Chain A
Amino acid sequence: MSVPHHIQANFREVVPALKAKEAIDEANRCLYCYDAPCIKACPTSIDIPSFIKKIASGNLLGSARTIMDANPVGASCARVCPTEELCEGACVLNHASGSRAIMIGLLQRHATDWAIESKASLFSKGEDTGKRVAIVGAGPAGLSAARELARLGHQVTVFEAKEKAGGLNTYGIVSFRLPQSISLWEAEQIESLGVEFRTNTQVGVDIAPAELLANYDSVLLATGMGYVPSLQIEGEELEGVLDAIALVEETKTKPLTDTMMGKKVVVIGAGNTAIDAATCSKRLGAEQVQILYRRTEQEMTCYEFEYEFAKQDGVEFRWLVAPVRILGENGRVTGLELMRMQLGEPDEKGRKRPVSIPDSQFVIEVDAVVKAIGQTRYLELIESFGMEHKNGIVTIEDGTYRTSNPKVFAAGDVIFGGGKTDAMVVDAANHGKRAAAAIHQALNDYTLQV
């Protein structure tokens, strides 16, 4: 059975680009504030009024350069940033005496789309310093650091376990929000600065950490996080129990299949990955998709717009339930036993703790269980570099991104220790940029000492 056409269509980018006139009209609506709050709200401090002014003046090359200069993954961020919580949320036009926020994300996409289509060359590599830097991981943090270091003239080699660069942007964000071509373009831009990408190369397996430490002047660990951890319940080995990250990855790397058609799917967890897995399942043709969460709507960690998007895709939400046991027949998932929960005292983060209600178990019929309860950390790798860490979160020196191993720096999810929501792509990009500056500084200091 071939995959119905509508399923292919379901994975095309959902949000339409601004039309040319729309972009000009919107750009002209920007007030071009001085010391604008949108800039401060952007983790990478993109000069937003400036790139918008350049759209208005017809200087799209300058506009794209302004964006990508501040954020090496600015084309991806134009699509995945929670803009209403960042730049657009800070727009002065939200004020009661204003009108409505400028569509900054879409304008950013307009300018970067132009750069992609026009094949514009935005940056060039710096004069060779003779220094060599190894970057482990080609995700947003690694790419961002690689770009900055290459512009500063260092020879950069990026080691990436997967076939392609881009990390989360290439493999982990659903195509209908971020097509793979966008993050691959960002990687190409960086490759064109002379950065070497060694893909399909897993550090710790294909190449020893010691080798990197011996052969490079500096190492940046930007491995991000891994797949979803185990639920620690019975039945997890059954066919039909899926990893949310692997599920999304499959839709981005393999031809779409009809295996979800007509199925009843549950997703465990309510973060942004859970939403991605749920909407993905729905768009793959699942008949019913339910997100199961042991707390309530208020405690969910996904963004508001993600929640709205999921609801519009027909995803159902079931609060205050926790999985107890996955049921199966002939090695396949057939059902899920749940327990009802209630909210108790707040935990250390201030979120109310879910407490199970005794004897409240019940069983629902399901064909697939997708787990989306967080991501594992690459403990072994971190330890093989001999770095200090807390539960897999690498410890860094304040402000320098330097780990306990002075030759090794870390950026991105490996140093992100939690917060209200998942770490954002734009945060990782900022880490990468700043870590690159710290590495550059360290390499210079070293040269001066010698």
Chain B
Amino acid sequence: MADLSINLAGIQSPNPFWLASAPPTNSGYQVQRAFEAGWGGAVWKTLGEPIINVTSRFAGLHYGGQRVVGFNNIELITDKPLEVNLREMDETKKRFPKHTLIASLMVEHKQEAWHEIVKKVEAIGVDGLELNFGCPHGMAERGMGSAVGQHPDLIRQQVEWVKEVAQTPVIVKLTPNITDIRFTARAAAQGGADAISMINTINSLMGVDLDKWLPIPHVDGKGAHGGYCGPAVKPIALNMVAECARDPLVGIPISGIGGISNWRDTVEFLLMGATGVQVCTAAMHHGFRIVEDMIDGLNNYLDQRGIASVVDIVGKAVPTYSDWGHLNLNYKVVARINDDTCIHCNKCHIACEDTSHQCIDRVLDSETGKEMLVVLEEDCVGCNLCSIVCPVEGTIEMVEIPNDQPPLSWNERQAALAAGGNNANTDASV
């Protein structure tokens, strides 16, 4: 059994699986059930001035027979008085002292307001704070949530206010509704944040009712954009985590959030620099019990590789993530189709023929009289499209074609050209 415990910026947790601040962490009853199920930590539903919610709040995106590949919501922060939440948090922490309890906070842009709430929640013994600068709907219209998370200056300022009084580590939760998340992540670090968490939800409209011509979901005939999450957002979140993990100007630990549904997703986020993960949609789809396979699968993954502790994989793939300008222009892969496992759906052919580089031919094998799909390797640009559309895993392999040209990136090429170009291999076509 590998050691699954983590330490995120000084916050200890028995395992890297936390519930994100969201509907599943709305009450002591829920969070305690989650801890019983095995979750290592929970970020409580955001505390602040209690709000009034609308009914009809969620929508799911179902695709190709799979339910909830995406999910959105227009629910706001907690609708309960702070005292009620604090009482339940206190009770939860007392029952589960070794589990991680984080208070998510959102108040207006005032120093006193931040000071007051930080003192109140720390008084009940939370393990850390998470500042919600990510919620994209409703609260943003009131100048909070992602309205803060879109302005580095506001982030820096509010983090500073919090750090003036905070005794526990401060995590800043960032919005993805921004051009380059590194700028807000850096602002959080500059303000003194101990860690960042990302991503909060993405602005979204889930659909339009074809019969009623109404947005989905709607509230009495009107809709508003919601926050998008679930498996579909994972690549967006993973990129943002990786970009921040490799940015020396950010330089603080990351709690990964965004479409994480199982132990495999978790391993990906950890490899790309997250110290732990937060989950919401998968739990909302299946219940808290999903954490059992997350723990079991992660443990088996580590055991099978002889890795003693989960922290040993954190960030291990970050050095492989870079800028386009550093990629080797002389690296070449081509598609190889395994005729033994090919089921002749011809999807690779038509994908390549119509939308890529016309290099998969349908050829009649004179010996067997059977049609074969043959890759014209000299024309293949190695784009992966055929292997992506192929329904049989492993049938189309992208194989490296060794060549005698030394690695050359675009940046190196341009630098060489600028310097006179005589020593560089400039054959790589523009």
Partners in one complex: yes
Interface contact B292-A21, CB-CB below 8 Å: no
Chain A residues within 8 Å of chain B by Cβ, number = 14
Contacts of A61 in B (CB 8 A): 300, 304
In the complex, the chain A residue whose C-beta lies closest to that of B67 is A31
A65 to B299, CA, bound (A): 13
- The 9 A-B residue pairs with the shortest CB-CB distance, nearest first, are A59-B297, A62-B296, A57-B262, A61-B300, A54-B293, A32-B286, A57-B297, A53-B293, A57-B293
* Cβ B264 vs Cβ A58 within 8 A: yes
A59 touches B392 (CB 8 A): no
Taken together as a complex, chains A and B put the C-alpha atoms of A65 and B303 apart, in Å, by 15
A1-44 CB contact bits vs B (8 Å, 1 = yes)?
00000000000000000001100000010001010000000000
A288 within 8 A of partner (CB): no
In the bound complex, what is the Cα–Cα distance between A168 and B66 (angstroms)?
A: 42
Over the window 47-78 of chain A, the binary record of Cβ atoms lying under 8 Å from chain B Cβ atoms (1 yes, 0 no) is: 00010011001110110010000000000000
Q: Is the CB of A62 within 8 A of B286?
A: no
A58–B301 alpha-carbon span in the complex (Å): 10
| Secondary structure dominating the interface of B | helix
Flag A410-441 by CB within 8 Å of B: 1 or 0 each.
00000000000000000000000000000000
Chain B 277-313 per-residue mask, 1 if CB under 8 angstroms from chain A, else 0: 0000000001101101100110011001000000000
| Cβ contacts A103-119/B at 8 Å (1 or 0 each) | 00000000000000000
**B112 in the interface (beta carbon within 8 A):** no
Of the A-B pairs whose beta carbons lie under 8 Å apart in the complex, a sample of 20, sorted by A's number, is: A21-B393, A28-B66, A32-B286, A34-B287, A50-B292, A53-B290, A54-B297, A57-B263, A57-B293, A57-B297, A58-B264, A59-B263, A59-B293, A59-B297, A59-B300, A59-B301, A61-B300, A61-B304, A62-B296, A62-B300
Q: Which residues of A contact B296 (CB under 8 A)?
A: 54, 59, 62, 65
**Given A34-B287, A57-B263: 17 more A-B contacts, CB < 8 Å:** A28-B66, A32-B286, A50-B292, A50-B293, A53-B290, A54-B293, A54-B296, A57-B262, A57-B297, A59-B300, A59-B301, A61-B300, A61-B304, A62-B296, A62-B297, A62-B300, A65-B296
Chain A residues 278-310 with CB under 8 Å of chain B are none
Main secondary structure of the interface of A (DSSP, over half): helix
Q: Write the chain A residue with the least CB distance to B263.
A: A57
Considering the complex, give the chain A residue whose CB is closest to the CB of B286. A32
CA distance A59 to B304 in the complex (A): 11
Could you say which residues of chain A place their CB within 8 Å of the CB of B66?
28
Closest CB of chain B to A45's CB: distance in Å? Answer: 15
* Cβ–Cβ < 8 Å partners of A21 in chain B: 392-393
Nearest-neighbor residue (CB-CB) of A47 within chain B: B292
- CB neighbours of A32 from chain B (8 A): 286
Residues of A within 8 A of B287 (CB): 34
Task: Report the Cα distance A323→B262, complex, angstroms.
Answer: 61
Contacts of B286 in A (CB 8 A): 32
Which A residues fall within an 8 A CB radius of B?
Answer: 20-21, 28, 32, 34, 50, 53-54, 57-59, 61-62, 65
Cβ-closest chain A residue relative to B294:
A57
8 A Cβ contacts from B386-408 to A? 392-393
Chain B nearest CB from A359 CB (Å) reads 64
The docked-state distance in angstroms from the alpha carbon of A235 to that of B5 is 74
B393 contact set on A, CB distance < 8 A: 20-21
Q: Residues of B contacting A53 with CB < 8 Å?
A: 290, 293
Q: How far is the CA of A203 from the CA of B300 in the complex (A)?
A: 42
Contacts of B301 in A (CB 8 A): 59
Distance of A35 from chain B, by nearest CB (Å): 10
B38 → A minimal CB distance (Å): 12
Q: Cβ of B392: which chain A residues have Cβ within 8 Å of it?
A: 21
Is there contact, CB below 8 Å, between B293 and A58? Answer: no
B293 near A62 with CB under 8 A, answer yes
Q: Which residues of B contact A34 (CB under 8 A)?
A: 287, 289
- Docked CA distance A57–B264 (Å): 7
Q: How far is the CA of A86 from the CA of B16 in the complex (A)?
A: 37
Nearest CB on A from B339, distance (A): 17
Chain A residues, Cβ within 8 Å of B292: 50
Closest to A56 in B: B262
Q: How far is the CB of A66 from chain B (nearest CB, A)?
A: 8
Task: Pick the most buried of B287, B296, B392, B393: most chain A CB atoms within 10 A of its CB.
Answer: B296
Contacts of B297 in A (CB 8 A): 54, 57-59, 62
Distance in angstroms from B43 CB to nearest chain A CB is 24
Contact with A along B79-119 (1 / 0, CB 8 A): 00000000000000000000000000000000000000000
Task: Looking at the assembled complex, report how far the CB atom of A229 sits from the nearest CB atom of chain B, in whole angstroms.
Answer: 48
Bound together, the chains give a CA A32 to CA B264 distance in angstroms of: 18
Contacts of A59 in B (CB 8 A): 263, 293, 296-297, 300-301
Give Cα distance in the complex from A54 to B392, angstroms.
21
Closest to B262 in A: A57
The closest CB in chain A to the CB of B394 belongs to A20
Shortest distance in angstroms between A116's beta carbon and chain B's nearest beta carbon?
17
Complex interface: chain A residues within 8 A of B289 (CB): 34, 50
Cβ–Cβ < 8 Å partners of A57 in chain B? 262-264, 293, 297
Shortest Cβ distance from residue A299 to the other chain B in the assembled complex, whole angstroms: 43
B235-268 residues at the A interface, CB under 8 angstroms: 262-264
Q: How far is the CB of A31 from chain B (nearest CB, A)?
A: 9
Complex interface: chain A residues within 8 A of B293 (CB): 50, 53-54, 57, 59, 62
Task: Report the separation of the CA atoms of residues A61 and B263 in the bound assembly, to the nearest whole angstrom.
Answer: 13
Q: How many Å from the CB of A107 to the closest CB on chain B?
A: 15
Most buried by B among A20, A57, A65: A57
Considering residues A20, A61, A65, which has the most beta carbons from chain B within 10 angstroms of its beta carbon?
A61
CB-based nearest A residue for B265:
A57
Name the distance in Å between B395's Cβ and chain A's nearest Cβ.
Answer: 10
Contacts of A50 in B (CB 8 A): 289, 292-293
**Residue of A whose beta carbon sits closest to that of B299:** A62
- How far is it, in angstroms, between the C-alpha of A54 and the C-alpha of B289 when the chains are bound? 12
CA distance A57 to B298 in the complex (A): 11
In the assembly, what is the distance between CA of A32 and CA of B300, in Å? 21
Instruction: Output the least CB separation between A117 and chain B (Å).
Output: 15
Q: B331: shortest Cβ distance to chain A, in Å? A: 28
How far in angstroms is the closest Cβ of chain A from B262?
4
Q: Using Cβ atoms and an 8 Å threshold, which residues of chain B touch A62?
A: 293, 296-297, 300
**In the complex, A59→B295 CA distance in Å?**
11
